[in-house]
Each structure stands twice: as C-alpha cells, then as structure tokens.
Structure 1
Amino acid sequence: MDRRTILITGASGFVGTALCRKLVELGGVNARAALRKPGAVLPAGVQPVIVGELARSTDWASALSQVDVVVHAAARVHVMKETATDSLAEFRRVNVDGTLNLARQAAAAGVRRFIFISSIKVNGEQSPAGRPLCADDTPAPQDAYGVSKLEAELGLRHLAIATGLEVVIIRPVLVYGPGVKANFHNMMRWLHRGVPLPFGAVDNRRSLVSLGNLLDLITTCIDHPKAANQVFIASDGDDVSLTQLIRALGQALGRPARLIPVPQILLQTAARVLGQRDLAQRLLGSLQVDINKNYQLLGWTPPMTLEQGLSATARSFLDNPHR
C-alpha cells in the first residue's frame, strides 16, 4: 500500500514539532511540515514546505499536493498582553479565515480528512461543581480566542457537509510536556529554586493533558473511521487541584514544594485588586472535562498517567542547561 502523506501546520510549535517526530517514529507515512518561513529545525525525515502566514489569501497548492490528511495545529494563540485594537478581528483573521481557506483548498485537492486542533475554551472557562464539560455540550466561549475557535469549528462543519471532507475536531485542555513554556515552565522554575508559593490551600479541580496523550489521540484520529465529523476533548482523565499539581510536580523535580496555605478567597481578592482576574481564574478556578466519548467511540484511553506525564516534563526541564 502507498505511504500516506500527512500535512502538519504549526509544525514549528510545541505540539506540531512533537507530532512530526511521532509520525516519523511510527513510520508508514510521509510527514510534511507547513512553515511560515525557512529556518525551523524539524525532525529528520520531515519534508518542509514554506507557505507564509496563515491567512485567507494563502496559496496552499504545493503543500497540499498528494496529501491524505491535514493536522491543523497552527493558530493565533491566546495572548496574555493583547496589543491589537480589535483582538477578535485579529483572531478571526487567522483562526477563522485562515483555517477555512486552508480547509477549502484541502477539500478541492482531494484531502480525505482534516483534523483541527481547537481549544477547550470553546466549551468555556470553567465547569460547574460536579459537572465536567463534555465534547457535545453547548459551546460557551468567554474570550476572543475561544470565539474564533468556535467560529472555525462551525465553518469546518458546514464545509464537511458541502464537500464530503471528513473533519475531526480535538479540543485540548492545558497541554504540558517536555519543552512546555509559559506558566507551567515558570512553575517548574519556582519549584526548582525553592521559591515559597501561596497555593497550599487551593481546593479546585483542573483537567490537564500531557503532550504524549494528546499526540496519541491525534494519531488515533488520523485513521479511525468513527472519528469522522466528531468532536473530542483531550485530557489525561485525572483531575487535580492546583495544590496537588504543585506537590506532584515538585516530587517529579526532586524538590519538595514549599507551599503556604493562603486561603483561596484571599488569593482571589488580591488578584482582582491587581487586575489579574483572568490569571486567577486559570489558577484557582475549576475546569474539569469528561472524555468518556473518546473511549466509547474510538476505544481510546490515555496511555500515559498524570504522574508519568509530569515525570517526563520534569526530566526535560532538568536536562535543559538554560532552565
């Protein structure tokens, strides 16, 4: 049987680079990486193709030639310090217009399946007590990024009906793993340096997903016949409080967490005073998800436990001399 060709967008990013590497390791496919510009370091065996920016006018003809499956991980991501005058317009320009332009050209080129890496933000920012969010819940995005991801999802569903392109939507929760950046990386730095943290009494519940588990779900959806035109949530299936997470991460790093039990209400009040309400929600609020659909439809369960995921993340951090 001929080797399939899989196009990965966002191939120089955290998820995209790891996906390219995994596809090479699995074998049996030609992995093609769509890049904005030359110079990205890709795993050996991955074919680079320069496409420029993700926009409504991007020409994808060369990238899509003889492609069987597209995994679309490129996006304008959630911006902590927004500088755009109209942030929703900027998110729509890339995440909606750019995505649908790619998908339309993919359908015209004969691509069989389009896997869209969306976001749990389509579901919302928090889950009600005792009621995890499900893939088929009514969407309730709260910010411009989440709205743009939802609008892209809706456009892809319409396109699937009109063209026959199989669309698979995956909404990851917070992704961590070797090479993770931003707040998760900062947390490891604080723990490694022994910095006292005021999170010893946070009794929330958060779902996370290791990079390894997310990649396993993506590769499952590349071929699984029942994945077509479905929405899935990616999670480790093991929810923890912020306090539990920090303790577990400290143990993985070999640095006992120095946690101060500041009452959660005081932390929330301080965050509001300092204008950090959104950050407080991400740290202190609850966001649990239900991934039973993944098992029921795909027979998929996360192959990696939370403990294993944190251990792999910590090892990568400790091996990095520039941490």
Structure 2
Amino acid sequence: MRVLLTGASGFVGAAVQAHLQDDPRFALRSAYRQLPVSVSPRLQVCQVAGLESDTDWRVPLEGVEVVIHCAARVHVMNEREADPLAAFRRANVQGTLRLAEQAAQCGVRRFIYLSSIKVNGEETLPGRPYTADDQPVPLDPYGVSKREAEQALQALAAKTGMEVVIIRPVLVYGPGVKANFRSMMAWLNRGVPLPLGGITNKRSLVALDNLVDLIVTCIHHPAAANQVFLVSDDEDLSTSELLRRMAQALGRPAYLLPLQMWLLNGIAQLLGKKAMSQRLCGSLQVDIEKTKALLEWSPAISVDGALLKTAKNFLEHRV
C-alpha cells in the first residue's frame, strides 16, 4: 500500500516514518520542504513548497492510497505573528485543504488528519473527560485552526467520498520530547526541589509509541472511516504523580514540596505565568472508549514503559 506522509521532520511524523518504512505492508513516500541528507533505502522522499494554498501535491500523490497528514503550523509559546489566527489558518486550514482536495482528485482512498485535543478545549472538570463526540470549544488560534481544518475535511469527504479520519492527541511524550516535558526531566535529573508535590489534578497523556500505533491502525481499519478519535495512554495522572514516576524512570529521587495548589496558582499569576500554572495544575482528561471499542485497539505500551524509554533517551542525549 502506497502511503504519503507529511510532517516527517516533526516529533510525531518522524516516529511514524521510522515505523512505516520498516513495515513491508507499506510503500512509504515522505514529503519534505528541505530534503534530508540521507534516508532509508525503503523510503521515497519528495520535496514540496510547504503548507501553502497553492502548493502542487500532484506528483507526491501519484499512486497514493492513504495520506497521513502530520504537518502543521504548531502551537508556539512565544508567538511573533501580528495576527496569529490568520497565520494558523493559512497553514492549518488553507494548506491542509489544498492537500486534501488534490488527494481526492488523485484518487486517494483515506486521509488521516492529526488534529489536537485543543479542538475540544483547554481544561476539564473533575469526572468530566472530553469525548470524541463532544461539541468542540477551541479557545486559542491553534485550536480554532485545527477545528476549522477538521470541518473543511469533513465537508470534502461528504462531497468526494474520500474517507477522512481525525485523531486528536493529548500531550505526546516519548524519546526526543522537547519543551516542558524535557525541562521537567532535566530538573528531576539535577535534583532540583520542585513545589509541585501537592497537585491533585488529572491529566491524560499519550506515549509516542501509542499514538503511532493508533495512526497505523487507522490506515487499514474499516471502522475508522469518517470518524473522530481521541487517544491517550488510558491512565490519567496528576502532575505530582507524573513527576514521581518520571524520577523513578530516571533512577533519581523526586524532591517535591507539597505547596498548596491555590498558593501555586497565586504565585504563578503574580509572575505572569498563568498559562503555565494551568498546564501544571489544571485537569485535562479524555475518554478513549470509542477509540478502543470501534477499532478494537488498546495502548501498546504502558505509562511506566514509555517513561523508561523516554528517560533512557534523555540520559543518552542530554547536553
């Protein structure tokens, strides 16, 4: 089966590529803005202009049966665009729709779109996890653009008959993870005391291996057609518990000070770090029962197993 992958240089896309290029069931073609220096002999690469409204995808799409679309303008902490929503729409909505329209014209059977849990919202109430069929309430420009892309793809599917599969992952972690997750590992590895021992929230996470496994399942599973799926490790953790288990994976003690959540939130607001406080103290849970039942799928790796792999990679590549 010929598969076209976009976003192969990204965190998730690179893992999808590594998996599929070694699977004899698939002939993988990866689209890059800048071609890599070296690739596997089993991988075909092609160069494209990027996620633009006028990008010509016809050559990369030739003979392709399934598209896995991981490329996107991603959520950034220090936004520099004067109009962030317009920038997100250009890439994530207009650029995605351009690819999907040409995919349908070229006879692609299935289009798998990597969306985001930000389509659902930013935070959940205790005992009220998001489900795949909830009314979306995106709150930031990235989430809005992802939702609009989903809607455009669903309309295209209804018009053309090309199957669309939408996957909304929660926070993804695994070997090579960056940003806050890597920072937390670095703090724990250095033995830095953290005032995060009293957090009683619940957050869903998804290991990179589990997300890739679900994406691969959606390539061929007949029940995936025209569905929306949420994905997680199916074990929700508080920030405090995550840090303790992360420290265990690193082989280090966790020095967590039991600061009350209200005090931590207050300090964060005084320091202008309200968004960071929300991510550390707020809850965001997802219900993946639909994903498990419809696809007969379950996470391939446990949280502790995934944390061990992540910690091993961190210790091997730390600077």
TM-score, length-normalised on structure 1? 0.97
> Aligned partners of 1:108 and 1:207: how far apart in 2?
38
Give the structure 1 partner of residue 56 of structure 2.
Answer: 59
| 1:24 Cα deviation after fit | 2.0
Q: What is the SS of the residue equivalent to 2:59? A: helix
Cross-structure match for 1:70? 67
Deviations 1:248-275 (A, max 9, x none): 0000000111111111111111111122
Cα deviation code 1:75-130 (max 9, x no counterpart): 00001001101000000000000000000000000000000000000000011111
Which of 216, 219, 222 is the aligned partner of 2:216?
A: 219
2:170 pairs with 1:173: yes
1:126 matches 2:123:
yes
Give the C-alpha shift of residue 26 in structure 1.
2.4
1:22 to 12, 19, 30: 19
Give the Cα–Cα distance (whole angstroms) in 2 for the partners of residues 40 and 85 of structure 1.
Answer: 34
- Kindly state the Cα deviation for residue 318 of structure 1 after the two structures are TM-superposed: 1.2
Aligned-CA RMSD value: 1.0
1:112 aligns with 2:109: yes
Tell me which of 154, 173, 179 is aligned to 1:182: 179
Residue 148 of structure 1 is aligned with which of 145, 157, 160?
A: 145
Q: In 2 relative to 1, CA 200–134 (structure 1 residues): closer, same or farther, beyond 3 Å?
A: same
The Cα shift of 1:44 comes to 4.6
Asked if structure 1 preserves the Cα contact closer than 8 Å seen for 2:3 and 2:27, the reply is: yes
Find the counterpart in structure 2 of residue 272 from structure 1.
Answer: 269
| Structure 2, unaligned runs of 5 or more | none
Secondary structure in structure 1 of the residue aligned to 2:29: strand
Please state how far the C-alpha of 1:45 moved relative to its aligned partner: 2.0
> Identity over aligned residues, as a percent?
55
Contact preservation (8 Å) 1:202, 1:284:
yes
5+ unaligned residues in a row in structure 1: which ranges? none
Q: Deviations over 1:45-83 (max 9, x none)?
A: 221110022111111011101011000000000010011
CA distance in 2: counterparts of 1:64 and 1:228, whole angstroms: 20
Residues 98 and 40 of structure 1, relative CA distance in 2, 3 Å threshold: farther
Matches within 5 A, 1:1-323: 4-39=1-36, 42-320=39-317, 322-323=318-319
SS in 1 for 2:21: helix
Cα distance in 1, alignment partners of residues 18 and 39 from structure 2: 8
Distance apart, 1:151 and its partner CA: 0.1
Maintained 8 Å contact 1:20/1:43: no
TM-score scaled by length of structure 2:
0.98
Tell me the CA shift for residue 154 of structure 1: 0.3
Contact 1:17 1:42 in 2 (8 A): no
Tell me how far 1:220 sits from its aligned partner.
0.3
Amino acid at match of 1:234: V
- Count of residues paired in the alignment: 319
Aligned counterparts of 1:21 and 1:52: Cα–Cα separation in 2: 23
Contact 1:24 1:46 in 2 (8 A): yes
1:40 to 1:198, Cα distance in 2 relative to 1, 3 A: farther
1:41 shift after superposition: 5.3
2:194–2:256 Cα contact (<8 Å) kept: yes
Distance across 2 between alignment mates of 1:221 and 1:58: 26
Greater mean alpha carbon deviation, residues 243-252 or residues 50-59? 50-59
Structure 1 CA distance for aligned equivalents of residues 209 and 39 of structure 2: 18
User: Equivalents in 2 of 1:277, 1:255: separation in Å?
Assistant: 29
The answer to whether the Cα contact below 8 Å between 2:165 and 2:228 also exists between their aligned partners in 1 is: yes
Q: Are the equivalent residues in 1 in contact too, given 2:22–2:42 (CA < 8 A)? A: no
User: What's the offset of the Cα at 1:279?
Assistant: 1.3
Structure 1 residues 234 and 35: CA distance shift in structure 2, 3 A = same
Secondary structure in structure 1 of the residue aligned to 2:27: strand
Q: Secondary structure at the match of 2:148?
A: helix
Amino acid at match of 2:84: S
Which letter does structure 1 place at the counterpart of 2:313? S
Contact 1:12 1:40 in 2 (8 A): no
SS in structure 2 at match of 1:233: strand
Contact kept in structure 2, 1:175 and 1:211, CA below 8 Å:
yes
